[in-house]
A = this chain, B = another copy of it.
Amino acid sequence: MAKTTTSDRIKDLILSDGLRPGDLLPTEGELCDRLGVSRSNVREAIRKLSTLDIVDVRHGHGTYVGEMTLDALVEALVFRGVLSPGDDLRALRDVVEVRRALDFGMSEAIVRSLQGTTNPELSALVDDMVAMAKDGKSFPQQDRAFHTGLLSALDNSLVGQLVAAFWDVHTAVLPRLNVAVAADLEQTAQAHGQMLEAAQSGDVEAFHAAITIHYDPIARALDRDVV
């Protein structure tokens, strides 16, 4: 943390030049000149910043300021998830608990933002999920779209990205761990509808109850398989 690295200096340069996501960075040669460091130094720093999505290297075009997505977090957490010690599913349980905590913690803001509104797109997603569950099908796309959609009214892009990131980790890790997925697809599908109705009618308590119902099947599946 204490040592200023070339990547730190490139970040400072982005700030001092007032560059924004999508803006073109100076060329490699210009960065060498301005920072007084070697080309290999600049290249290594750019690679690191690219991994963090702080810059975006478009080969043949140049290097741009990146969108700073949480993709790196997802990659690291997915791997940590599948690497969790032995066959205990602790890493996945941790992720599920964080998902539930974020849903609980944002409840009041979500309910406030949706109270008195109607949300045809979210309702359609719920209908799709319920129908697919009745056919014994899982519904990952609809599920993810529902959870991110619920937060989209919030004007907090970080929460939306985190919820999406942990959803991705959860979904990527689950099949690799051979968890016996609970046959409670219908309960999960319907819980989404209960969350939406509670939010639209401004009922924080009912929203909390729906979250509990929503996470119940996966929590039971993890408890059953763990030990």
Hey, which bits of chain A sit against chain B, CB under 8 A?
11, 14-15, 20-21, 44, 47-48, 51-54, 68, 70, 72-73, 75-77, 79-80, 82-83, 85, 91, 93-95, 97-98, 100-107, 109, 156-159, 162
New A-B contacts (16) at CB < 8 Å, excluding given A48-B51, A52-B72, A53-B76:
A14-B83, A15-B83, A20-B85, A47-B48, A51-B51, A68-B76, A68-B77, A72-B73, A73-B76, A98-B102, A98-B156, A98-B158, A101-B159, A102-B105, A104-B105, A105-B105
Q: In the complex where A20-B85, A54-B79, A68-B80 touch, is A158 in contact with B105 (Cβ < 8 A)?
A: no
Q: How far is the CB of A45 from chain B (nearest CB, A)?
A: 11
B21, B68, B80, B159: the one contacting A94 at CB < 8 Å is B159
The distance in angstroms between the C-alpha atoms of A107 and B77, with both chains bound, is 24
Query: A-B pairs with the 3 shortest C-beta distances?
Result: A101-B105, A105-B105, A94-B158
Q: In the complex where A101-B105, A105-B102 touch, is A91 in contact with B54 (Cβ < 8 A)?
A: no
Q: How far is the CB of A68 from chain B (nearest CB, A)?
A: 4
Copies, count: 2
Q: What DSSP secondary structure best describes chain A's contact surface?
A: helix
Cβ contact within 8 Å between A68 and B72: no
Q: Which residues of B contact A94 (CB under 8 A)?
A: 156-159
Cβ contact within 8 Å between B159 and A97: yes
B44, B75, B101, B109: the one contacting A102 at CB < 8 Å is B101
**Which of A47, A53, A75 is packed against the most chain B CB atoms within 10 Å?**
A75
The distance in angstroms between the C-alpha atoms of A44 and B102, with both chains bound, is 35
Q: How far is the CB of A131 from chain B (nearest CB, A)?
A: 28
Q: How far is the CB of A79 from chain B (nearest CB, A)?
A: 6
The distance in angstroms between the C-alpha atoms of A221 and B133, with both chains bound, is 47
Cβ contact within 8 Å between A162 and B52: no
Closest to A95 in B: B158
**Which of A70, A80, A97, A100 is packed against the most chain B CB atoms within 10 Å?**
A80
Q: In the complex where A47-B48, A51-B48 touch, is A105 in contact with B95 (Cβ < 8 A)?
A: no
